[in-house]
A and B are shown apart, each in its own frame.
Chain A
Amino acid sequence: MSMLRKSAPFRAAAIGLGLLTLVAGGSTAVAATSQAPLKEVPGGFSFESPLGKFDQASLQRGYKVYAEVCSSCHSMTLMSYRNLCQPGGPFYTEKFKNPNDSPYCKAIAADIKVPDLDPDTGDAIQRPATAADHFRSPFPNDIAAAASNGGKAPPDLSVMARAREGGPQYIYSILTGYVTPPKGLTVPAGKSYNPYFPGDLGAQWAGSKATVPQGGIIGMPFQLTPGRVTFDDGTKSTTEQQAKDVATFLAWTAEPKQEERKEAGLAVMIYLILFSGILYLSYRRIWRDVAH
């Protein structure tokens, strides 16, 4: 990612001028992307309402889906193993207030090898992770990630649930939304059609312009086949269940402090409403003798 950002200043300037033409040209037609309306998530997400909380069991199942499926291609660089055991996290327990002490996170981390330098020789080594380590990235860099995935690096998932319209509902729709491409749509080898992936399929569509299918061509093939992940709590591992759980997990990783935010918000609201009421009464009292 960082390597791409450093490169090609002239191309960036060209893009800038292109944008400007678009802005100043005004009537330039814009290629319209389309996608199907997002799916309803069965039962909805527990954290959607203003005071809603994450379902910890769902977070744990979601982590398992991430760890066993997503993490083989997608990085999640903003997360550390300790985060899993912090208050509000999937493996938080009252007994271990400090996530670094939690045996769950220590055990999860210890199973994973992360790259490091040998402190004595400086050689590149692999060592067991600690709770403080960031989630291991599946590829050493973005170029390697792109090379192994049809030319485009799979996006980092840390804030994915905040980085797409619809957030967790979008993630759920994408993961469960793979369908057989309609007749007349050319899907390049190694890629898939997904009606919920925003795109413009006009160029791949053989039929009339009026009937171009909604959606786009996505690099990621269908992943969450029924039973792909075995849930330890006995929950039936359907495609929908896995998708809902991993979407919940990604909503949490995108904003691990969400529950704290909502709890603080409730207290702040109660305080402000009471305080405003007191100020209003003071105002009425102070102004009671002034005609205005």
Chain B
Amino acid sequence: MSGHSTYEPKTGIERWLDARLPIIRFAKDTAIDFPTPKNLNYWYTFGGILAVCLVIQILTGVILAMHYVPNGDMAFNSVEQIMRDVNYGWLIRYVHANGASMFFLAVYIHIARGLYYGSYKAPREVLWILGCIIYLLMMATAFMGYVLPWGQMSFAGAVVITSLFSAFDQVIPGLGTAITTWLWGGFAVGGATLNRFFSLHYLLPFVIAGVVGLHIWALHVPGNNNPIGVDVKSKADTVPFHPYYTVKDGFAISAFMILFAWFVFFAPEALGHVDNQVPANPLVTPAHIVPEWYFLPFYAILRSVPQKLFGVLAMFGSIGMLFALPWLDTSKVRSMRYRPTAKIFLILFVLATIGLGWCGGKEPADMVITLGRDANNDPTGFPVLWLSRILAIYYYAFFLVILPLLGLFEKPLAVPTTISTPVLPQGGAAIPAGAVAAPEKKG
């Protein structure tokens, strides 16, 4: 797809370097000339936004690590000292903390875009799976990062999530206990756990950066998918990446930064939890343990299953579904723009996931609809637990039943033959430059 290189070294030193390490050629071919479908909409800007998020997290994280102390007695106060006594430490820390949320917001939109436009289908399965791996690594990194301030919610979160592995005691007695002891570096979450989480939290972002490199490589082999899901047929279907998408991505990144900055400067703790401003204390358990917002749907799935081991498996399986997706969706049509039935099920899937997130933030015994009160004056009715069960079943059914069957029975709409067809009545070939068919669609 990248075609033959148009790079011509102009100077002696460029020719010398090009014969030895053609890095300028590589940059020009992949970041400047790269032919990109001309119909990518704003949903396609989130890849660039995510790259910026990763760079921001690594830069702010490296600076925070210069001041942070990964010690159970000092971690909490060292974070506060960063906010108080390090020059612009408050800014660096708020950018890093809110950056995690912004990163997940962008990645969820990026994933939803991939689902809607069928970006996981052949020949992009490896690209999609690399993305799923990045997402898993992000979750591990974010979880360990949230532990580092060593507040009450950090501690409780570390206990709850690492203790999930003790469910494997139900497979082989002692196995789960051995895993948790190994993870904790002791018999409970403590200073040793904090120190290793810090080490891994510093390591994993660089692993993510490496997989992102593979992700972009795997993108550049088949080239971008696009909103109509039809392969690029001719040069008329594409524009060079630069300046067309550098400026479009640039605008989207800048607009995203407005939202980012609003959280950093005007609501820096809106996405956090007040309990995490209390230093970790193993003897006091917070009344209401909730993970960060971006984990809530999976937390709800975990709690919706009464049996511990199956709850853990259901939670990890819900992400496993994403890995299997390229082979679960049997439809030959990529874009859901031409799959009206699948579109409705996908919208329901997104709503179900958001609903699971809402359930994850509530207690399972809370009522969605209160019908009355029992003898203890506790409300009775339709509890969060049952709503999360219904939504979790739909979550799984979407992958395991709906997508496999829909591809066989659904009648898709007529798909355009080329990318240029939907905008240019004659298919884009015979139109003189400048005579735009639909000027209102410009820009």
Q: Determine the chain B residues whose CB is within 8 A of the CB of A95 once the complex forms.
A: none
Shortest Cβ distance from A248 into chain B, in angstroms? 18
Q: Is the CB of A163 within 8 A of B80?
A: no
- With an 8 A cutoff between CB atoms, is B344 at the interface? no
Q: Is the CB of B163 within 8 A of A16?
A: yes
- With an 8 A cutoff between CB atoms, is B77 at the interface? yes
In Å, the complex CA distance between A5 and B279 comes to 9
In Å, the complex CA distance between A282 and B244 comes to 10
> 1/0 contact trace for A29-61 toward B, CB 8 Å?
111110000000000000000100000000000
Q: Is the CB of A23 within 8 A of B90?
A: no
Closest to A284 in B: B443
A12's partner among B189, B287, B288, B289 (CB-CB below 8 A) is B189
Q: Is the CB of A269 within 8 A of B248?
A: no
Contacts A26-B303, A282-B247, A286-B243; is A255 near B188 (CB within 8 Å)? no
In Å, the complex CA distance between A276 and B72 comes to 43
Shortest Cβ distance from B147 into chain A, in angstroms? 14
- With an 8 A cutoff between CB atoms, is B423 at the interface? yes
Closest to B309 in A: A24
Q: Which of A212-261 contact B (CB under 8 A)?
A: 212, 254-257, 260-261
- With an 8 A cutoff between CB atoms, is B257 at the interface? yes
Q: Is the CB of A28 within 8 A of B91?
A: no
Q: Determine the chain B residues whose CB is within 8 A of the CB of A279 once the complex forms.
A: 247, 250-251, 254
> 1/0 contact trace for A261-292 toward B, CB 8 Å?
11011101100110110011011101111111
- With an 8 A cutoff between CB atoms, is A147 at the interface? no
Shortest Cβ distance from A225 into chain B, in angstroms? 29
Q: Is the CB of A287 within 8 A of B283?
A: no
Closest to B156 in A: A19
Q: Is the CB of A291 within 8 A of B438?
A: yes
> 1/0 contact trace for A68-83 toward B, CB 8 Å?
0000000001100001
- With an 8 A cutoff between CB atoms, is A158 at the interface? yes
Q: Is the CB of B266 within 8 A of A262?
A: yes
| Interface size class of chain A, counting residues whose CB lies under 8 Å from the partner chain | 35 or more
B247's partner among A11, A77, A261, A283 (CB-CB below 8 A) is A283
Contacts A6-B73, A289-B434; is A20 near B160 (CB within 8 Å)? yes
Shortest Cβ distance from A228 into chain B, in angstroms? 28
Q: Is the CB of A283 within 8 A of B248?
A: yes
Q: Determine the chain B residues whose CB is within 8 A of the CB of A276 once the complex forms.
A: 251, 254-255, 257-258
Q: Is the CB of B163 within 8 A of A265?
A: no
In Å, the complex CA distance between A210 and B83 comes to 45
- With an 8 A cutoff between CB atoms, is B433 at the interface? yes
A contact patch SS:
helix
Q: Is the CB of A19 within 8 A of B163?
A: yes
Q: Is the CB of A50 within 8 A of B274?
A: no
Q: Determine the chain B residues whose CB is within 8 A of the CB of A290 once the complex forms.
A: 38, 239, 244, 442
Q: Is the CB of B437 within 8 A of A291?
A: yes
Q: Is the CB of B90 within 8 A of A261?
A: yes
Shortest Cβ distance from A119 into chain B, in angstroms? 25
Shortest Cβ distance from B271 into chain A, in angstroms? 14
Q: Determine the chain B residues whose CB is within 8 A of the CB of A20 once the complex forms.
A: 160, 163-164, 166, 308
Q: Is the CB of B258 within 8 A of A10?
A: no
- With an 8 A cutoff between CB atoms, is B375 at the interface? yes
- With an 8 A cutoff between CB atoms, is A165 at the interface? yes
- With an 8 A cutoff between CB atoms, is A106 at the interface? no
In Å, the complex CA distance between A37 and B434 comes to 64
- With an 8 A cutoff between CB atoms, is A15 at the interface? yes
Contacts A19-B285, A23-B303; is A273 near B187 (CB within 8 Å)? no
In Å, the complex CA distance between A286 and B285 comes to 57
Contacts A5-B279, A10-B187, A287-B442; is A261 near B268 (CB within 8 Å)? yes
Q: Is the CB of B428 within 8 A of A19?
A: no
A78's partner among B77, B187, B262 (CB-CB below 8 A) is B77
Q: Which of A83, A158, A287 has the most CB of B within 10 A?
A: A287
Closest to A25 in B: B306
Closest to B164 in A: A20
In Å, the complex CA distance between A83 and B190 comes to 32
Contacts A257-B83, A279-B254; is A292 near B282 (CB within 8 Å)? no
In Å, the complex CA distance between A209 and B436 comes to 74
- With an 8 A cutoff between CB atoms, is A1 at the interface? yes
In Å, the complex CA distance between A165 and B272 comes to 11
In Å, the complex CA distance between A23 and B261 comes to 35
- With an 8 A cutoff between CB atoms, is B20 at the interface? no
Q: Is the CB of A283 within 8 A of B265?
A: no
- With an 8 A cutoff between CB atoms, is B207 at the interface? no
Q: Is the CB of A26 within 8 A of B428?
A: no
Q: Determine the chain B residues whose CB is within 8 A of the CB of A9 once the complex forms.
A: 186-188, 190, 282
Q: Which of A148-188 contact B (CB under 8 A)?
A: 155, 158-159, 162-165, 167
A283's partner among B287, B306, B443 (CB-CB below 8 A) is B443
Contacts A24-B303, A269-B258, A291-B428; is A159 near B285 (CB within 8 Å)? no
Q: Is the CB of A257 within 8 A of B160?
A: no
In Å, the complex CA distance between A63 and B378 comes to 43
Closest to B277 in A: A163
Shortest Cβ distance from A34 into chain B, in angstroms? 11
Contacts A23-B302, A163-B274, A279-B247; is A269 near B281 (CB within 8 Å)? no
In Å, the complex CA distance between A26 and B186 comes to 28
Shortest Cβ distance from A151 into chain B, in angstroms? 13
Closest to A281 in B: B251
In Å, the complex CA distance between A272 and B443 comes to 21
User: Can you list 15 A-B pairs, Cβ within 8 angstroms, ordered by A?
Assistant: A11-B282, A18-B285, A27-B306, A30-B363, A33-B287, A155-B278, A257-B83, A261-B94, A276-B254, A276-B258, A283-B443, A288-B442, A291-B436, A292-B38, A292-B39
8 closest Cβ pairs, A-B complex: A265-B265, A163-B277, A12-B282, A24-B308, A12-B188, A279-B251, A9-B188, A210-B377
Residues of B within 8 A of A (CB): 38-39, 72-73, 77, 80-81, 83-84, 90-91, 94, 156, 159-160, 163-164, 166-167, 186-190, 239, 243-244, 247-248, 250-251, 254-255, 257-258, 261-262, 264-266, 268-269, 274-275, 277-283, 285, 287-289, 302-308, 311, 363-365, 373, 375-378, 383, 385, 420, 423-424, 428, 431, 433-434, 436-438, 441-443
Residues of A within 8 A of B (CB): 1-2, 4-6, 8-13, 15-20, 23-33, 50, 77-78, 83, 155, 158-159, 162-165, 167, 198, 208-210, 212, 254-257, 260-262, 264-266, 268-269, 272-273, 275-276, 279-280, 282-284, 286-292
Q: A28-B364, A287-B244 are in contact. List 7 more A-B contacts (CB 8 A).
A: A12-B190, A24-B302, A24-B305, A27-B306, A30-B287, A163-B278, A257-B83
